[in-house]
Amino acid sequence: MKLQSLKIIDHPVAKAYLTKIRDRNTSHFEFSQFVERLSMLLAYEASSGLKTKSKKIHTPLAPYKGVEIKQEIILLPILRAGLGLLGGFSRLFPDAKISHLGIYRDEETLLPVKYYFKFPELKNSRNASVFILDPMLATGGSMNFAINEVKIKGIRTIVVCSLVSAPEGVNEVLKLHPDIKIYTCSLDKKLNDKGYIIPGLGDAGDRLFGTH
């Protein structure tokens, strides 16, 4: 595992929110609320590498030379659980373009299959940053599929954002895509024999939408 490519959010508020969403007694309404708050902290950290350019403005009192974000930002939630992170990221980046990617796992081959993908038209793909959003980075299969789809579009700057990650998934992603960065709120212990993260937080999609 390349430690320079993995950033774990070590913040007391993030830890408190993460404890709340791990708790099995947390209702799906509270779960979604705390996921959104946690996603804002994740978005703040994950965007630390964005490039800026100079911008001259006038305050009410004097001229001022400030900055603005240079890159075009695209948020890509992996359906459906990734939608839970979209609110917090959209609050931080209200002008970001939104992409959506739907994937399911074939029961026979166990390989990811794309059923929906909508990606925005870009002025310059080399000047774009894509944040792929998924609460759980487990085996890494879906995430690697998503990264491949984005790279086909000519995107060079890709950031993976998750709430909890398994070492197996992180290693799998960085093995195939050593050029990307992963931001997560926790690197958990392991995957169980069913591919669930331990200790994890259960099925994020079901808990977000009250379908468990």
| CB-CB contact of 51 with 71 (8 Å) | yes
User: Which CATH number does the domain 3-50+62-209 belong to among 3.60.9.10, 3.40.50.2020, 3.40.50.1970, 3.40.920.10?
Assistant: 3.40.50.2020
Please give the model's pTM, rounded to 2 decimal places: 0.92
Q: What is the pLDDT of residues 51-85, one digit of tens each?
A: 999 999 999 999 999 999 999 999 999 998 999 99
Exposure string (b/e) for 102-131, b if CB count within 10 Å is 16 or more? Answer: ebeeeeeeeebeeeebebeebeebeebbbb
pLDDT value at position 143?
95
pLDDT value at position 212?
66
Residues marked as catalytic: 105, 109, 203, 206
Q: Give the Cα separation of 70 and 93 in Å (integer).
A: 13
Looking at residue 159, its amino acid is V
pLDDT value at position 3?
63
Domain residue ranges in the chain: 3-50+62-209
pLDDT value at position 110?
64
120 Cβ contact list (under 8 Å, min separation 6): 74, 97, 98, 99
| CB-CB contact of 151 with 180 (8 Å) | no
Q: Percent of the chain, pLDDT > 90?
A: 80
Considering only 2-6, 106-110, 194-198, which range has the smallest mean pLDDT?
106-110
Longest dimension (CA), the chain: 67
pLDDT value at position 86?
95
